[in-house]
């Protein structure tokens, strides 16, 4: 078995692993990235679409934002729709910031191209099977082309998503898990049709939540609330469009044109936090440590925020051998994570129809939406959280 030596062994080439590898490279810190899927698979996986301004600034500031600046769609607000009417939350006017719609797989493509461009190691179809000795001399074992390999490193970055191997490698007694499951899921589609609105529309309807988003001037991304155990085969294209039209209808005749559906999938909704996000020299980042329901559009942004904190800690360690920032890694990340959890849970409960919801709950739902869209204080709260709360530690980019 060949053993490779590096400073940071990174497991997972999603937004967390790739951004970390990139920022470390710019700081002169070596890493090896392992990804169990093929390059094509990760570059075409349809996931998030909304980037906070802080995320955009990190990508641009670190030199991978050229296409993002050209192709990303800057949005100055969103619409909340209920009772047949749309209400605009104007981020720019309320908090002076905005968001950018740019698909996660495009961020992933840009980061992979950068990594390959400067010839740093990234292995696809290389599955990490074990992380060991992370209290002293960390090692990562992995399988590639049917053979076993090993990486010896100073630190392991567990960027391997919710179903990865890093979180389960930490003894259960050393982790506290906080979890909530929601009694609904999202059925998401990507369709070749011009978006019916320039801005995202979050809709609350008696039949359930619906969301209109987009990927480009020609491609729409839409979601409808469905049952968590739903089989996607029970949702032929006509049924999806019909349901979207019913939920998104307005009294002034909103028109939703359909088009060929390019991709269809069901996403369960959960909130999850594993504390303290680190054990010895193993750090968890992004979905490996936390999941938010997608209603607040926070998942990818939180992954990048974790990377920002860990990069600072590793730079401090390699420059001065100080471990303070590394030791505070989880604590620093968790302050932001819990606020994003709070915001995502609030958006989720405000915009979804719960099973057995009675008239009283429906009345409260409408009153809350009415309040949020008519009170400047409440709209500002939504806007401030949606565009991304300020970072409370200085960044390197």
**Which residues make up the interface to ligand FAD (CB under 6 A)?**
11-17, 34-37, 42, 47-50, 104, 127-128, 159-161, 164-165, 188, 267, 286-287, 294, 297-301, 303
**What, of ligand PHB, ligand FAD, none, does residue 295 touch, CB below 5 to 8 Å by kind?**
ligand PHB
From the list 238, 191, 184, the residue with the least C-alpha distance to 215 is 191
Does the footprint of ligand PHB cover residue 115 (CB under 6 A)?
Answer: no
Binding mask 286-315 for ligand PHB (x = CB under 6 A): --------xx-x------------------
Active site residue 298: yes
Q: Between residues 232 and 364, which has the closer beta carbon with respect to ligand FAD?
A: 232
From the list 142, 202, 204, 329, the catalytic residue is 202
Q: How far is CA 286 from the centre of its chain?
A: 8
Minimum CB separation of residue 396 from ligand PHB in Å reads 28
The correct pick among 21, 50, 240, 369 for binding ligand PHB (CB under 6 A) is 50
Active site residue 276: no
Active site residue 294: yes
Binding mask 210-249 for ligand PHB (x = CB under 6 A): ---x-------x----------------------------
**What, of ligand PHB, ligand FAD, none, does residue 279 touch, CB below 5 to 8 Å by kind?**
none
From the list 15, 109, 294, 365, the catalytic residue is 294
Minimum CB separation of residue 42 from ligand PHB in Å reads 17
Active site residue 386: yes
Active site residues: 75, 202, 294, 298, 386
């Amino acid at each position: 078995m060949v053993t490779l030596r590096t400073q940071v062994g990174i497991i997972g080439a999603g937004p967390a692993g790739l951004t970390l590898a990139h920022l470390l490279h710019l700081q002169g810190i070596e890493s090896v990235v392992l990804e169990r899927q093929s390059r094509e698979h990760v570059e075409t996986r349809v996931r998030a679409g909304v980037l906070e301004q802080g995320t955009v600034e990190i990508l641009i500031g670190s030199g991978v934002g050229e296409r993002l600046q050209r192709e990303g769609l800057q949005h100055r607000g969103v619409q909340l729709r209920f009772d047949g009417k749309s209400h605009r939350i104007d981020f720019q006017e309320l908090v002076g910031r905005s968001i950018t719609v740019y698909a996660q797989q495009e961020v992933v493509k840009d980061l992979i191209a950068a990594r390959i461009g400067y010839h740093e190691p990234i292995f696809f179809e290389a599955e990490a099977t074990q992380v060991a000795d992370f209290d002293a001399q960390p090692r990562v074992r992995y399988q590639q082309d049917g053979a076993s390999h090993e990486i010896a490193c100073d630190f392991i970055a567990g960027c391997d998503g919710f179903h990865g191997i890093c979180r389960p490698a930490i003894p259960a007694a050393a982790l506290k898990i906080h979890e909530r499951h929601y009694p609904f899921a999202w059925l998401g589609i990507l369709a070749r049709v011009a978006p019916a609105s320039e801005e995202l529309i979050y809709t609350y309807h008696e039949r359930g939540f619906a969301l209109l988003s987009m990927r480009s001037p020609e491609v729409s991304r839409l979601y409808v609330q469905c049952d968590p155990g739903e089989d996607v085969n029970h949702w032929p294209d006509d049924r999806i469009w019909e349901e979207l039209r019913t939920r998104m209808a307005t009294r002034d005749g909103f028109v939703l044109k359909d088009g060929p559906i390019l991709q269809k999938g069901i996403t369960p909704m959960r909130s999850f936090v594993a504390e303290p996000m680190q054990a010895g020299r193993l750090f968890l980042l992004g979905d490996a440590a936390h999941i938010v329901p997608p209603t607040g559009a926070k998942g990818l942004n939180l992954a990048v925020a974790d990377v920002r904190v860990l990069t600072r800690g590793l730079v401090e360690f390699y420059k001065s051998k100080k471990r303070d920032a590394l030791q505070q890694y989880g604590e620093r990340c968790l302050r932001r994570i819990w606020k994003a959890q709070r915001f995502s849970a609030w958006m989720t409960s405000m915009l979804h129809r719960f099973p057995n919801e009675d008239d009283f709950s429906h009345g409260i739902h409408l009153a809350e939406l009415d309040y949020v869209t008519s009170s400047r204080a409440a709209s500002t709260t939504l806007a401030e959280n949606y565009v991304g709360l300020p970072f409370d530690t200085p960044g390197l980019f």
